């Protein structure tokens, strides 16, 4: 995107890759794909390019934190289900 600074582009790409990697692990652990796609952080990532200004790139760290929290919660939920 010619309107986003490179730092912002890199952070968004890192978010997308982190989402993919964590989603793959959670799905392999037994979580349904629909549960992963329903996570609120997914929409945060999709909207990050237009919602976060070039001068506010540090806000992407907040989204990364939300991603880690929500994936961890989903992982705990399905790890518990597997133990039953």
Question: What would the pLDDT profile of 2-46 be if each residue is shown by its tens digit?
Answer: 789 999 999 999 999 999 999 999 999 999 999 999 999 999 999
In the chain, % of residues over pLDDT 90 = 87
Q: Where are the domains of the chain?
A: 6-83
Sequence-separated (6 or more) residues with CB below 8 Å from residue 9 = 1
Question: Which class in CATH covers the domain with range 6-83?
Answer: mainly alpha
| Distance of alpha carbon 12 from alpha carbon 17, whole angstroms | 9
pTM over 0.75: yes
Mean of per-residue pLDDT scores for the chain: 93
Task: Confirm if 55 and 7 have CB atoms less than 8 A apart.
Answer: no
């Amino acid at each position: 995107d010619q309107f986003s600074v490179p730092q912002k582009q890199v952070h968004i790409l890192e978010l997308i890759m982190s989402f993919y990697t964590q989603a793959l692990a959670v799905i392999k652990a037994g979580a349904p794909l629909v549960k992963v796609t329903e996570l609120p952080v997914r929409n945060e990532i999709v909207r990050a390019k237009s919602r976060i200004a070039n001068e506010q790139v540090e806000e992407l760290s907040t989204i990364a934190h939300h991603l880690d929290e929500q994936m961890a919660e989903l992982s705990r939920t399905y790890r518990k289900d597997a133990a039953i």
